[in-house]
Amino acid sequence: MFRLPAPTGPYPVGTSILYLVDASRPEIHPNPPGSKRELMVQVWYPAEPSTAPLAPYRRWVDTTKVSSYMALLKTHSRQDAPVSRSGAPFPVLLFNPAWDNQRTQNTYQTEDLASHGFVVIGIDHTYNSQPVVFPDGRRVLALAGADMPDFAHLTLAQELSKDDAEANYEAADDIFVLNAFAQMNQDPRSVLYGKLDVDRSGAFGHSFGGGVSMEACREDPRIRAAMNMDGWIFGDVARDGLDKPVMLMYTGIALPSQAELNSSNVVERRVAELNTYDIHNIYATLNRFGGFLVVFRKSFPLSHMNFSDRALYSPIRRLAESGPVDPRRAHQIIEAYTLAFFSQALKRDAQPILAPGAKPFAETSLEVWKSGDRPSKQ
């Protein structure tokens, strides 16, 4: 068993799980003919004090044999607790998990953000997230062989085409989910009636989900800010950039060496080509539109999975893929930047840790880019 950090905000946290069907879109992944896009989502929200039971980290049906213990692990969120009567309407945040991961993978973040007055919606992207279990018991796994990246079989152009298509499709999931919650907000029968400020929304995600969040933000004017945690950028936003507040957070960022680009190992060479393409797009959007770039220093060597709950799964860090750093310290830093970014972008609440010249964490560097200008390094 592992323990999630306690939320730091003033609100108790509630959570609910919903099943949504987008009747306007067909399912593009293998499925019975004529099927529509089906999604499972989980919402974390500011709640009234409640004696409702604490929600499990995952429902029993959402686990595997290896992860079944997570159904016994209690979170800090009360299941279906009443929504807070004070502070509404609340800004909405859409969370996109990493490739082959679940909506609950960043519960340390979703709970904390909800405790500070955000409504956070985690989305299982069917056939990419897994397992996804629908109310009728159907259990959908991620597509077999759909590795990302799959340079053992695909060229760079083929990989980009596959990932661009999936990023655009998942961004459409985000927009559909936001539409569904906008309808709930206007429905007097809904417990969310009048509780949401849908026009003041944001999106964030880890790994592939970070790129999805930026693409959804590019497409929907209601999504006013996006945060990408250690993810390549795919979709139209990779080429067009993002003309909205954006925070990009990485374990490290450096162009591949010439030796890597010329490697005789085809997988290593194509990964280097993808990294070169991605870093060019990162700096292109920052230079054109501005934004925040957070990079963890080499003296605090973060693992890719330190951005998620996975870093807490085992005290044996090799098994948790957490690297040599203290995972709880990493989570404190990541969540501090996340909360500050969305509070400033959506609530217009100026955040000292994002001000030019601020140096809140010795473990990171922060570059504040202004449109067309050189960054202010902190």
What pLDDT score does 374 carry?
A: 60
Helices (H) and strands (E) in the chain, counts: 8, 14
356 near 378, Cβ under 8 Å? yes
Q: Residue 256 gets which letter from DSSP? A: P
CA neighbor of 310 nearest in space, from 57, 17, 79, 62: 57
> Which tens digit of pLDDT belongs to each residue from 64-97?
888 999 999 999 999 999 999 999 999 999 999 9
Q: What is the reported pTM?
A: 0.96
Residue extents of the structural domains in the chain: 13-377
What pLDDT score does 145 carry?
A: 63
CA neighbor of 104 nearest in space, from 55, 139, 65, 148: 55
By three-state DSSP, how is residue 369 classified?
A: strand
Q: Helix %, strand %, coil % for the chain, to 5?
A: 35, 25, 40
Question: Cα angle vertex 98, ends 104, 362, to 5°?
Answer: 90
> Quick one: average pLDDT of 292-298?
96
> Which tens digit of pLDDT belongs to each residue from 298-354?
999 999 999 999 999 988 877 778 888 999 999 999 999 999 999 999 999 999 999
> Which tens digit of pLDDT belongs to each residue from 157-205?
999 999 999 999 999 999 999 999 999 999 999 999 999 999 999 999 9
> Quick one: average pLDDT of 263-288?
96
> Which tens digit of pLDDT belongs to each residue from 30-53?
777 679 999 999 999 999 999 999
Structure tokens, 89: 């309407």
C-alpha 82, offset from chain centre: 25
What pLDDT score does 372 carry?
A: 66
> Which tens digit of pLDDT belongs to each residue from 210-224?
999 999 999 999 999
> Which tens digit of pLDDT belongs to each residue from 4-31?
999 999 999 999 999 999 999 999 987 7
Handedness of CA 284, 175, 90, 333 (dihedral sign): negative
CA neighbor of 16 nearest in space, from 100, 68, 63, 75: 75
- For residue 101, pLDDT beyond 90: yes
> Quick one: average pLDDT of 290-299?
96
* Neighbouring residues of 268: CB distance < 8 A, sequence distance ≥ 6: 260
**Helix (H) / strand (E) containing 275:** helix 266-289
C-alpha 7, offset from chain centre: 18
What pLDDT score does 373 carry?
A: 64
- For residue 207, pLDDT beyond 90: yes
Handedness of CA 316, 322, 325, 327 (dihedral sign): negative
CA neighbor of 206 nearest in space, from 197, 217, 214: 214
* Neighbouring residues of 93: CB distance < 8 A, sequence distance ≥ 6: 113, 118, 119, 120, 121, 201, 202, 203, 204, 342
CA 275, CA 279: separation in Å to the nearest integer? 6
- For residue 377, pLDDT beyond 60: no
**Cβ-based neighbour number of residue 174 at 10 Å:** 27
For 2-62, the three-class secondary structure string (H helix, E strand, C coil) is: CCCCCCCCCCCEEEEEEEEEEEEEECCCCCCCCCEEEEEEEEEEEECCCCCCEEECCCHHH
CA 326, CA 307: separation in Å to the nearest integer? 12
327 near 306, Cβ under 8 Å? yes
333 near 361, Cβ under 8 Å? yes
**pLDDT band at residue 356 under the 50/70/90 scheme:** confident
For domain 13-377, the CATH architecture is 3-Layer(aba) Sandwich (3.40)
Bridge partners, 356 (sequence order): none
* Structure-token match 């009636």, residue found: 193
Structure tokens, 204: 């964030």
What pLDDT score does 30 carry?
A: 77
